């Protein structure tokens, strides 16, 4: 009985993993598909053409470039703003901590379509804003900040303050201590926050779609082409994004483990 139950659970876990991973396999496989028409929905034969002609659809390439630009800018700004908030929350006691935590938490707990609609009404009613690159960037920075705060804060809490005290005892001022001791130590946390922001930004559809005006990001291109027929190059880009993200994730996990081993 115990034997059956143990293996029942394992079988269930394996089935669940299959469920999680099969769609990913489909995405990758269809980047090698050779569809006869515009619809890349059924398997026709193996080809490397889509990979060789990855830039054959100019609109898709432009959309990808725009997504990368926005993700880069949004993650840099959101990481700086979010890290400063995390430092304040972990390092200092101050009035209004509860309200600060609430302001950081609520955007993450709001349905995306509500965030999107709210921003759009701001941009429609205040004529300073014209929908486009700037409004997409503003929106992405907004929804990334909270995630950076949460990520960096989690790592800062386990941080050993005695190293900073040692630096100060040895005559370093606050700024030098921050630059030479604190920053290198929390750099992995900051990098993790930046990578998360980048991933969130490049994947975002709902908020971007509402506030993009006539700009077309990668997800918006996919959305538009879903009605007309998705070019197989979309799967090529999807596969590349998947592999890059997976690699960074694995590197991050290995690096963390090495640091833990070193620290022990």
Partner 1 sequence: MGFFHRHRGLTPYLLLLPGLAWLAIFFLVPLGFLGYQSLQSGTFDVGYAFDWAWGNYWDALQRYHPWLVRSLIYAGLATLFALVISYPLAYWIAFRGGRWKNVLLVMIIAPFFVTYLIRTLAWETILADQGPVVGVLRDVGILGDNGRVLATSTAVVAGITYNFLPFMALPLYVALEGIDERLIEAAEDLYASKVQAFLRVTLPLSMPGVVAGTLLTFIPATGDFINAQLLGTPRQAMIGNVIQSKFFNLLDYPGAAALSFTLMAAVLLLIAIYARAIGTEKLTG
Residues 23-62 that bind partner 1 (CB under 8 A): 23-24, 26-27, 30, 41-42
Kindly indicate which of the ranges 5-13, 49-57, 154-162, 179-187 contains the residues binding partner 1, using the contact rule CB under 8 A: 5-13
Q: Which of 60, 66, 70, 145 binds partner 1 (CB under 8 A)?
A: 145
Q: Is the separation of the CB atoms in 8 and 222 below 8 Å? A: no
Number of residues that bind partner 1 (CB under 8 A): 84
Question: Which member of 57, 60, 66, 85 binds partner 1 (CB under 8 A)?
Answer: 85
Kindly state whether residue 206 participates in binding partner 1, applying the rule CB under 8 A.
yes
Question: Is 70 an interacting residue with respect to partner 1 (CB under 8 A)?
Answer: no
The rounded distance, in Å, linking the Cα atoms of 114 and 136 is 16
> Which position among 34, 49, 100, 132 is part of the footprint of partner 1 (CB under 8 A)?
100
Secondary structure (3-state) at 173: coil
Choice from 112, 133, 150, 168 touching partner 1 (CB under 8 A): 112
Q: Is residue 185 part of the contact set for partner 1 (CB under 8 A)?
A: no
Cα–Cα distance measured from residue 153 to residue 189, given in angstroms and rounded to the nearest whole number: 8
Q: Per CB under 8 A, does 105 bind partner 1?
A: no
* Using rule CB under 8 A, residue 230 touches partner 1: yes
- From residue 114, give the alpha-carbon distance in Å to each of 98, 111, 117, 121, 203: 23, 6, 5, 11, 18
Q: Is 202 in the site for partner 1 (CB under 8 A)?
A: yes
Three-class secondary structure of residue 171 per DSSP: coil
3-state secondary structure of 237: helix
Min CB(47)–partner 1 separation in Å: 17
> Locate tokens 């890349």: which residue?
40
Length in residues, the chain: 264
Tell whether residue 186 is a contact of partner 1 (CB under 8 A).
Answer: no
Contact 55, 61 (CB under 8 A): yes
Interaction between residue 250 and partner 1 (CB under 8 A): yes
Q: Give the binding range for partner 1 (CB under 8 A) out of 52-60, 155-163, 164-172, 195-203.
A: 195-203
Q: How far apart are CA 189 and CA 117, in angstroms?
A: 32
């Amino acid at each position: 009985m115990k034997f059956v139950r143990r293996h029942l659970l394992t079988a269930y876990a394996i089935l669940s993993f299959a469920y999680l991973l099969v769609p990913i396999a489909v995405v990758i496989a269809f980047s090698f598909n050779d569809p006869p028409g515009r619809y890349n929905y059924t398997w026709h034969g193996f080809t490397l053409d889509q990979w060789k002609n990855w830039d054959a659809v100019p609109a898709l390439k432009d959309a990808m470039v725009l997504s990368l630009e926005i993700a880069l800018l949004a993650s840099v700004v959101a990481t700086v703003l979010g890290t400063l908030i995390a430092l304040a929350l972990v390092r200092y006691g101050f009035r209004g901590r509860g309200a600060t935590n609430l302001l950081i938490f609520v955007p993450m707990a709001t349905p995306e379509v509500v965030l999107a609609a709210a921003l759009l009404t701001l941009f429609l009613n205040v004529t300073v804003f014209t929908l486009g690159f700037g409004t997409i960037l503003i929106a992405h920075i907004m929804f990334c900040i909270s995630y950076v705060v949460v990520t960096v804060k989690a790592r800062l809490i386990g941080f050993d303050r005695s190293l900073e005290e040692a630096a100060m005892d040895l005559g370093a001022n606050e700024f030098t201590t921050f630059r030479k001791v604190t920053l290198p130590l929390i750099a992995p946390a900051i990098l993790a926050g930046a990578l998360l922001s980048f991933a969130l930004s490049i994947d975002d559809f709902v908020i971007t779609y509402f506030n993009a005006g006539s700009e077309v990001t990668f997800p918006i291109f996919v959305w538009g082409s879903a009605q007309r027929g998705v070019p197989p190059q979309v799967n090529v880009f999807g596969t590349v994004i998947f592999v890059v993200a997976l690699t960074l994730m694995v590197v991050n996990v290995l690096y963390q483990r090495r640091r833990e081993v070193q620290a022990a």
